[in-house]
Structure 1
Amino acid sequence: MAPVTLSRRSFLGGVAVVAAGALTGCSPSSSAGGGGSGSASVTLPKYIRYEGVTPDLPGDASGIPDTFLRYPAKPVAAFSRPPGDGSEIRGSVPIGGPVPPSAGRNAYWQELNTRLGSDLQLTMTPRADFPQRFATAVAGDGLGDLYTLDMGMAHLPDFLRAQCQDLTEHLAGDAIADYPFLANIATESWRGTVFGGGIYAVPITRGVQSSALLYARGDLLAKHGITDDPRTVDDFLALCAEVTEPRANTWALSSAPMPMLQQMLGLPNNWQVEGGTFTHVLELDGHREALELGRRLVDEGYVVPDGVTAEGVDQKTWFASGAALLHADTYSAAPGLHQQSEASAPDYAIRMVRTPSQDGKAPAALWLGPPNNTLSAIKKGDPERVRTLLSVLNWLAAPLGTEEHLFRKFGVEGVHYELDGTDPVLTALGKSETSEGFFPVEYLVDGPRSNYFPGRPDVAKDVHAHMADMVPGGVADPTVGLYSDTQGTKGGQLGTALSDATNAILLGRKPVSSWDAVVAKWRADGGDKIRAEYEAAYAEANG
């Protein structure tokens, strides 16, 4: 099919997604790599779907989550008694949003402790500072009973075996049935908790919510007569050219979205595996084509100035203000994007782009995000203590549609939230005390994340429709569930070098031809060793 001229076509079909929503988004903070090793010798926890709540649009085995258009009118009381034993539970967690008042000044936190049956004392650290704080806490034995793991830490399996409880006997196979809401977590998430032949962690799952896509300002694109998805890369470039107006402080893109460009060109999700041999996407000729495409976007002025090196918060701000009409982010960012832009543009409307491909016959394959945001672990203890802590985590993992989930996310009705129909809407006190609905117990455990946007059923329908088109044909990173020690010790340093080299090319400081030397240095500095370790872990995991 020949491309239709831009002025006559529509862009991003489907229902418009308009601003609203009571919750602030929470972006993942995990490493993109896998998790455990030796999973072939471990019976993973059995997946037992919780059937106590009926979604409006059910998810499926491809990874599409359940979708709720409204909060269920009669939430299910899943627990008859508190899970705690009355003893204090100490925890260490990162926090991405505003820090809530301390327990002594926080009615929500106090009620949480009452419902848990134990006083939960949390040390909260801003996400950016968490790795350093984690290392300090390890040295001083200050992590507590439950703690979020820094998945990028060096020698993670050694740390787990030395200081964390082996949970295999409690969770493997049918044993997990004692904790039905942990059993409600998909098998794929549990693969990343296996290290050295044992289950040493609990997943903080995100599933496809961590997959990246292009968001578009549908309201502003409509002014250009654009209401349909670009089908090909050429269509995408034509759209960028039409909407970029530097004199009006308007650009097509908030960044040069390299992962999205790689997807448009049909490249593998980080690693390609053929016959057990791993090849990184950066080694492929197609990656050089993606660099050429990214360089063109910047050179022709389609990217907001400073968009190549800007922080994500700046890019979100440009998208909210209308300075950028396209923005790459994850599904999980949708609530925050709505709330952030609600005040700045009352007519604001988001649309979700089906990623264009080279031939335009179908959207490009979506790169599926890692199953887990991160992991949490339990300090070594006697079996009864471990069972108590697992029971607390099980309570916290109760899914949408239960009384426990409603309280965990929104607090107490009339105090922390009011009902708009059946949808809870946080009060000012609720936003403060619950950290805007993201109280950081979600970094100790989190059940499967449903598509739900309070008061905005159209948003939920649009997200579900996009996922239905994109997720079934999605491509997973083959290193998910594998572990490379060199990635743990050198991955951050290598990643910084690759990012710097990429930015130098995008900004025109280096030619694309310089990439061959970058790849050679990456291989010599640790890339080949990472490859070998992934290949060994892959062989072990596949018997």
Structure 2
Amino acid sequence: MSDKTPLSNNGQNMYSRRRFIQVAASVTTTGALLAACSQGEDTKLTKAKVDKAVPGEQVTATVNAAKGKTYFPSGDPRIPDAYTAPLPPYQSVQYVPGRGGTVRSVCMSFLPLPAPKDQNKYWQELNKRLNVDWQPSLIPATSYPDKVGTLLASGDMPELFLVDTSSSPAVIPALQQGAFTDLTEYLSGDGLKDYPNISRIAPNVWKNISFEGKIYGVPRPRALIGVTMLWRNDWAKKAGMEHIQNGEDFFKVLQYFTKNDPDGNKKADTWGLGYIYGTASYIFQMFGAPNGWRQDSSGKLVNSVETEEFKAGMGYLHRLYAAGLFHPDSFTQTITQAKNGLIAGKFGGYVDGYVGWWGERSGVRKVDPNGDITVLLPVSGNGNTPVHHMGTGHYGFAAIPSQYGGDREKVKELLRIMDYLTAPIFSSENDFLKYGVDGVDNKTTDGKKVLTDTGQKDIGELVYIGNSVPAFYNSEEPDFALMEQKAVSDLIKMGVSNAVTGLYSPTATKQGAKMSQIYNDHFLRIVKGLDPLSSIEQWRNDWKKNGGDQMRKEYEEALSKKS
């Protein structure tokens, strides 16, 4: 499931999680200036010039006046703040980050390559603002794992390297063997004072990116929740079942979606759910299954597939499938096809990252002005307590290869660049990163900036290796920010984490493809009724003998070392 729902498309802006008043305070006091000057003891830094930032005192006054009216702090570091109106732009970076040389980076990409530098005013202006020759290598996400392996073997790595252990597990042994710089002293405690934008990243995220107790990079922060059920709430209202309480209610409303023409076109062309492999995660949450692994009271790790909750979820999935409540293409759909299917009104729900919510919500209203896409919280499957499978709060981190780690001034320069790329969206720096050069990359329509075709081509994912920490603001539907904040808050209250987050199992890496095949084969056969539910015992045996028990042993050893 890709991360690539752009953070600024369709009017949805994602920006600093920490209370904005704290950001404003850092501008109006000496805090940020002292932090920048502390680096200046070793390196003479040039004061950054910002054309469109208002005085810090004005920002602070606006924030104070907006609290509880258009600014809604969550009060919880795990939950983004919400805004129903923008705040004045302010300066978040006090000094020019770079020292005039070349900085290379490598990052996965989901979009076409941007226009070449000599034809790209955004790229040229970015180089001026960073004071470096920015040379990103943008690798298609599907090719990224292979490219990572090639770069690690070459020994000649770029200065900034996106590490994503979930998509590229081969990088984990490289971390263990010292291929990347230990940045713990720079990115924890007093060290973070030098990087005020990076310092706003939530503590849970730092915990989740740490590897064997050390910090090796700057996280690309995301909300801490996992995937969610995106749901046609307007269809549920038609069924008179807007407030679903349990598994039986859920089954009945899916029957309505499938058999009662919820789109009103007098055709039998709608179904309950799509994208079965992803949507199954919601079903397992309904029955309280673990988020991958959980640790029992004795300290033993238990995998989800070994639990009765998982078995109950599989039984329920078969029941849904046997009743014809899944779209006929649900086993073969891609995530893009699932998105398009929900928007087109082919089915009433599927599971995706919550950042896709706005795209689907706005998209469906172009098809049906009364369409209403919401997030459906997991409901109890059979009287049990439902759970939500939490995410890690990040999508990889920007690491610095160890070949550069011996040069402290180089490390600080690279971290200053990442601090710039982490600038909050209401800052003037992030306004440039997101919208580019005024009059070229963007135009103002009804008082709102929108990217031009040139901007789309120029900006692309040139700086995708970094981003601001999440918060909620939507210029097209201001109250949507409050809907998002409530949904995230409710999901976190139900949240359970994976007990092995941040741990490494060599067997999980080596046997990953085999284990996935075993999972998919058994899953398909049970859901389709080709094998009885009792065959889950064979599934468990196959899982254990093909690496499951060895994975457990390795993860338990890693947990022991961590504790």
TM-score range, shorter chain: 0.7 to 0.9
1:430 aligns with: 455
Take 1:167 and 1:21, find their aligned partners in 2: how far apart are those partners?
Answer: 33
What is the deviation of 1:258? 1.4
Contact map agreement 1:25 1:334 (CA 8 A) in 2? no
Answer whether contact 2:19 2:81 (CA < 8 A) is retained.
no
**Distance in 2 (alpha carbons) for counterparts of 1:309 and 1:494:** 19
What is the aligned partner in structure 2 of residue 218 from structure 1? Answer: 233
Q: Give the 3 Å change call, closer, same or farther, for CA 379–62 of structure 1 in structure 2.
A: closer
| Structure 2 counterpart of 1:495, from 516, 520, 523 | 516
Distance of 2:134 and 2:362 partners within structure 1: 30
**Matches of 2:383 and 2:538 in 1, distance apart?**
33
Distance 1:516 1:59 in 2: 45
The alignment partner of 1:82 has SS state of coil
> What SS class does the counterpart of residue 532 from structure 1 fall into?
helix
Q: Counterpart of 1:203 in 2: which secondary structure? A: strand
Q: Distance in 2 between matches of 1:83 and 1:410?
A: 20
Distance in 1, Cα, partners of 2:428 & 2:561: 42
Residue 448 in structure 1 maps to residue 473 in structure 2 = no
Note the alpha carbon deviations across 1:226-252, whole angstroms, 9 max, x for none.
462311110000001111049521001
Work out whether 1:392 is the aligned partner of 2:428: no
Matches of 1:499 and 1:462, distance apart in 2: 35
Contact 2:106–2:138, Cα closer than 8 Å, also in 1: yes
* 2:68 paired with 1:68: no
Amino acid at match of 1:203: P
Q: Is 2:82–2:473's contact at 8 Å kept on the other side of the alignment?
A: yes
* Counterpart secondary structure, 2:107: strand
Of 526, 529, 540, 2:547 maps to: 526
Whole-angstrom distance in 2 between the partners of 1:364 and 1:421 = 44
CA deviations on 1:353-383 (whole Å, 9 max, x unpaired) are 122114679x832221122211221122111
Question: Any stretches of 5+ residues in structure 2 without a counterpart?
Answer: 1-7, 25-62, 262-266
Q: Is 1:162 aligned to residue 189 of structure 2?
A: no
Residue 51 of structure 1 is matched in structure 2 by 22
Corresponding residue for residue 299 of structure 1:
322
* Secondary structure of 1:481 counterpart: coil
Report deviation, 1:61.
Answer: 2.6
1:369-403 deviation per Cα after TM superposition (whole angstroms, max 9, x unaligned): 12221122112211111111011011111122211
* Contiguous gaps of at least 5 residues in structure 1: 1-19, 27-46
2:109 pairs with 1:88: no
Whole-Å separation in 2 of the counterparts to 1:305 and 1:82: 55
Q: Please name the residue that 1:508 is paired with.
A: 529
Contact 1:395 1:404 in 2 (8 A): yes
Aligned to 2:35: none
Amino acid at match of 1:395: Y
Distance 1:190 1:492 in 2: 29
Shift of 1:255: 2.8
For the residues of structure 2 that align with 1:75 and 1:111, how far apart are their CA atoms? 19
Aligned partners of 1:157 and 1:196 also within 8 Å: no
CA shift for structure 1 position 22: 2.0
Contact map agreement 1:201 1:376 (CA 8 A) in 2: yes
CA 1:22/1:350 → structure 2, altered by over 3 Å: closer, same or farther?
A: same
Within a 5 Å distance, the mapping from 1:88-487 to structure 2 comes to 88-141=102-155, 143-152=157-166, 153-154=168-169, 156-160=171-175, 161-208=177-224, 210-222=225-237, 224-226=238-240, 228-245=242-259, 247-256=267-276, 257-274=279-296, 275-338=298-361, 340-341=363-364, 343-358=366-381, 364-380=386-402, 381=404, 382-419=407-444, 423-435=448-460, 439-442=461-464, 444-487=465-508
Aligned residue type for 2:485: H
SS across alignment from 2:542: helix
Instruction: Judge conservation of contact 2:213–2:562 (CA < 8 Å) in 1.
Output: no
Aligned residues between the structures? 495
Q: Is the 8 A contact 2:121 2:437 kept in 1?
A: no
- What is the distance in 2 between the residues matched to 1:248 and 1:458? 35
Distance 2:136 2:21 in 1: 28
Deviations along 1:51-101, one digit per CA (max 9) or x if unpaired, are 1255712133361111222332x1111123320111111111111234322
Q: Quick one: distance in 2 between partners of 1:118 and 1:492?
A: 41
Query: Which amino acid is the alignment partner of residue 507 of structure 2?
Result: T
C-alpha separation between the residues in 2 aligned to 1:311 and 1:25? Answer: 26
**Partner of 1:136: helix, strand, or coil?**
helix
Contact 2:102 2:135 in 1 (8 A): yes
1:68 and 1:142 map into 2 onto residues whose CA distance is 44
Q: Larger Cα Rg: Structure 1 or Structure 2?
A: 2
Structure 1 equivalent of residue 5 of structure 2 = none
The CA RMSD over aligned residues, in Å, is 2.7
Cα separation, partners in 2 of 1:134 and 1:520, compared to 1, 3 Å: same
- Indicate how the Cα distance of structure 1 residues 518 and 279 shifts in structure 2: closer, same or farther if over 3 A, else same: same
CA–CA distance in structure 1, aligned partners of residues 11 and 154 of structure 2: 36
Amino acid at match of 1:169: E
TM-score, normalised with respect to structure 2 = 0.81
Does the 8 A contact of 1:92 with 1:122 survive in 2?
yes
Q: Is the 8 A contact 1:131 1:150 kept in 2?
A: no
In structure 1, give the amino acid aligned to 2:72. Answer: L
Distance 2:116 2:455 in 1: 14
Partner of 2:31: none
Secondary structure in 1 matching 2:463? helix
C-alpha distance in structure 1 between counterparts of 2:355 and 2:520, whole Å: 24
2:23 is paired with a residue whose SS is: coil
Give the AA of the match of 2:346. A
Q: Out of 1, 7, 10, which is 1:22 matched to?
A: 10
Structure 2 letter corresponding to 1:281: S
- Between the aligned partners of 1:533 and 1:292, the Cα distance in structure 2 is 31
Structure 1 residue 339, shift from structure 2 partner? 5.2
